[in-house]
Amino acid sequence: MEYRFSSMASRLKPPSVRDRLKLSQGKDVISFADEWPAEELFPAHAVREAAGRVIAGGAGALHGGAAEGYAPLRVQLCGRMAARQMAATPEQMIVTAGSQQAIDLLVSVLAEPGDAVLVEKPTSSARLQLFALRGLKAIEAESDEQGIVPEDAERLILEHRPKLMYASPTFGSPTGRVWSLERRTKLLALCKHYQIPIIEDDPYGDLVFEPNERLPTLFALEGGAERGTVFYASAFSGTVAPPLRAGWAIGDSGVIRMAAKMKQAAGQHSSAFDQQILSRLLENFDLDAHIRQIAGACGERMLEMHEQLLRQGLRDVSWQKPKGGLFLWLELPDGLDGEALLRLSIRKGVSFVPGGQFYAQHPRRNCIRLNFACHAGERTKLGVERLAEAIGEFTARS
């Protein structure tokens, strides 16, 4: 039978890069393409103990949960948010199967197919795919080392009248940049003035290398969920364990209630078992101490990759040392295409994510994203050497 795909399915971009990365799995390929830190950095023993406590609690552990999420976990998460000056009640929170689902629900409530969404250039490829799937047009605002450029954002707002803004101001993929306090304040004021809701995505914000330098979130700057402009989304995937699919969103209670209704209607219940494990983990495990430990390890691995790249003496290759998160954003010589470089690099035994897929409209193809936290020591050294060899072969041809 021949199938005709729906218009929604047809909006998805061909997964050519991901297909190539899959082909490299199981071979002697050092992957800098991962989305999370190395497995050994996660608290596997503590998660195992928490799961055991949940199972020992009886049959209730296997029951389904409310669309809003496991009530004790929501209370605990609100407490953690309050410690970061982000005031929210359990009624203003929904627990989801990761931050992608949280953002999907918010987008589904706040926007219609055909609406525009304002994004930073470049931005998360996964979120761009989500916006395309929902029929939204991503409008790219220019950015620099301080974050999104307010003047360009306002120009695009006046031209396209976006229905919402998507922002990841703290260590966001792919650049790992941190928006300055001035840019955060200006963008928040801009969106409040034009009444544009902001979805603030913060999957890597806990992985800060110098905690004293941590800036307030947009949600905290606005003063909490009652103000109604900012919706904050995050997850435990980068600090506890990616397989425990639990994220959350906080914001206006009316929007959160509608998101819960949509989640229930679509049968998109996140795992109540995973949520109970996380709740027990928060009860019996010093998560903050673990986060400081994993952030410190990521910082050491970033410096290690940075030093290895410097040792290669790569001409016309530049990058900025991030202050947290997982990613280094490399700008390659003009004319060097990241996807073509990936094909050669996989043959040499190293992989990464080409930069073109992080753009909605006008991609810069001479950029690549490296995850510095998924390897250490000899593996990082060898992977960087293989990458440098591939870059050298390309530049020698030009």
The string of pLDDT tens digits covering residues 184-196 is 999 999 999 999 9
pLDDT for 313: 92
Q: Please indicate, yes or no, whether residues 18 and 147 belong to a single structural domain of this protein.
A: no
Would you place residue 394 in the very low, low, confident or very high pLDDT band (cuts 50, 70, 90)? Answer: confident
Which of residues 284, 316, 348 is at a domain's end? 284
Token digits of residue 245: 């699919």
**pLDDT greater than 90 at residue 390:** yes
pLDDT for 58: 67
Percent of the chain with pLDDT over 70: 92
pLDDT for 323: 96
pLDDT for 48: 93
d(CA 304, CA 370) in angstroms, rounded, equals 13
3-state SS assignment for residue 54 = helix
CB 9 within 8 A of CB 328: no
DSSP string for 213-245: GPPPPHHHHHTSGGG-SEEEEEESTTTT-TTS-
Mean pLDDT of the chain: 91
d(CA 296, CA 136) in angstroms, rounded, equals 38
Give the 3-state secondary structure of 76-108: HHHHHHHCCCCCCCHHHEEEECCHHHHHHHHHH
CB 295 within 8 A of CB 150: no
pTM for the complete prediction?
0.93
**pLDDT greater than 80 at residue 17:** no
pLDDT for 104: 96
Strands 147-148 and 143-144: antiparallel
Q: Please indicate, yes or no, whether residues 34 and 76 belong to a single structural domain of this protein.
A: no
Residues with Cβ within 8 Å of residue 389, at least 6 apart in sequence: 348
Residue 311 lies in a domain: yes
Q: Please indicate, yes or no, whether residues 52 and 125 belong to a single structural domain of this protein.
A: yes
Q: Please indicate, yes or no, whether residues 199 and 342 belong to a single structural domain of this protein.
A: no
- The CATH number of the domain holding residue 34 is 3.90.1150.10
Each residue of 43-66: pLDDT tens digit? 999 999 999 999 887 656 666 678
- The CATH number of the domain holding residue 161 is 3.40.640.10
Q: Please indicate, yes or no, whether residues 238 and 377 belong to a single structural domain of this protein.
A: no
CB 116 within 8 A of CB 163: yes
3-state SS assignment for residue 135 = coil
Read off the pLDDT of each residue in 4-27 and give the average, rounded to a whole number: 63
pLDDT for 228: 86
d(CA 100, CA 63) in angstroms, rounded, equals 24
d(CA 370, CA 378) in angstroms, rounded, equals 16
Tokens 């020992």 — which residue?
A: 56
pLDDT for 358: 96
Partners of 43 in beta bridges: none
**Number of domains present in the structure of the chain:** 2
Residue 110 lies in a domain: yes
| Crossing angle for the helix pair 16-23 and 338-348, to the nearest 10 degrees | 10
Residue 2 lies in a domain: no
pLDDT for 6: 75
Partners of 327 in beta bridges: 371
Residues with Cβ within 8 Å of residue 237, at least 6 apart in sequence: 36, 98, 99, 203, 244, 245, 247
CB 128 within 8 A of CB 176: no
Residues with Cβ within 8 Å of residue 158, at least 6 apart in sequence: none
DSSP 264: H
Read off the pLDDT of each residue in 110-124 and give the average, rounded to a whole number: 97
Q: Which of 18-32, 74-88, 222-236 shows the lowest per-residue confidence on average (mean pLDDT)? A: 18-32
Residue 373 identity:
A
Read off the pLDDT of each residue in 136-165 and give the average, rounded to a whole number: 98
How many angstroms separate the Cα of 209 from the Cα of each of 110, 324, 354?
34, 5, 25
Q: Please indicate, yes or no, whether residues 212 and 327 belong to a single structural domain of this protein.
A: no
Which of residues 267, 284, 301 is at a domain's end? 284
pLDDT for 167: 98
Q: Please indicate, yes or no, whether residues 276 and 337 belong to a single structural domain of this protein.
A: no
Q: Please indicate, yes or no, whether residues 277 and 371 belong to a single structural domain of this protein.
A: no
Would you place residue 19 in the very low, low, confident or very high pLDDT band (cuts 50, 70, 90)? Answer: low
Residue 56 lies in a domain: yes
Token digits of residue 258: 């509608």
CB 315 within 8 A of CB 336: no
**pLDDT greater than 70 at residue 276:** yes
Read off the pLDDT of each residue in 375-389 and give the average, rounded to a whole number: 97
More confident residue, 7 or 356: 356
Q: Domain range for residue 37?
A: 14-43+289-397
Angle 45-50-55 from CA coordinates, rounded to 5°: 125
| Crossing angle for the helix pair 378-397 and 338-348, to the nearest 10 degrees | 130
Read off the pLDDT of each residue in 268-297 and give the average, rounded to a whole number: 90
Would you place residue 250 in the very low, low, confident or very high pLDDT band (cuts 50, 70, 90)? Answer: very high
Environment class of residue 96 by beta-carbon count within 10 Å: exposed (0-12), middle (13-18) or buried (19+)? buried
DSSP string for 241-262: -TTS--EEEE--HHHHHHHHHH
Read off the pLDDT of each residue in 343-349 and give the average, rounded to a whole number: 94
Q: Please indicate, yes or no, whether residues 296 and 374 belong to a single structural domain of this protein.
A: yes
Each residue of 157-185: pLDDT tens digit? 999 999 999 999 999 999 999 999 999 99
Q: Please indicate, yes or no, whether residues 321 and 233 belong to a single structural domain of this protein.
A: no
Residue 7 lies in a domain: no
**pLDDT greater than 60 at residue 24:** no
pLDDT for 398: 60
**pLDDT greater than 60 at residue 16:** no
DSSP 205: T
Report the largest interatomic distance among the alpha carbons of the chain, rounded to a whole angstrom: 66
Read off the pLDDT of each residue in 69-83 and give the average, rounded to a whole number: 95
Residue 5 lies in a domain: no
